[in-house]
Amino acid sequence: MEFLFSVDLGVKTGFAMYNSAGKLVWYRSQNFGNKVRLKKAIPWILYPDKDINYLIIEGGGPLRKIWGG
């Protein structure tokens, strides 16, 4: 099964995981407080679940670059 991980970009960030049928698997939000804490958390956000096939990021600006974009 494939999974899509969606991120609403910001220091106050929202996440959602969808399966290949388009069904919401889980969601949550997190306030990281600042850019440095968010940057340190990105590997922990993305890599615990190795089944992420697609990453969608909503937003832009300086925070977009720390996600690798």
Question: Could you tell me the residue range of the domain that residue 45 belongs to?
Answer: 3-66
Q: What is the mean pLDDT of each run of 10 residues along the chain (69 residues)?
A: 90 92 94 93 77 86 79
Helical (H) or strand (E) element with 8: strand 3-8
13 contacts 30 by C-beta, under 8 angstroms: yes
Number of domains in the chain: 1
49: domain CATH number? 3.30.420
What's the pLDDT score for residue 45? 82
- pTM: predicted TM-score of the whole model, two decimal places: 0.79
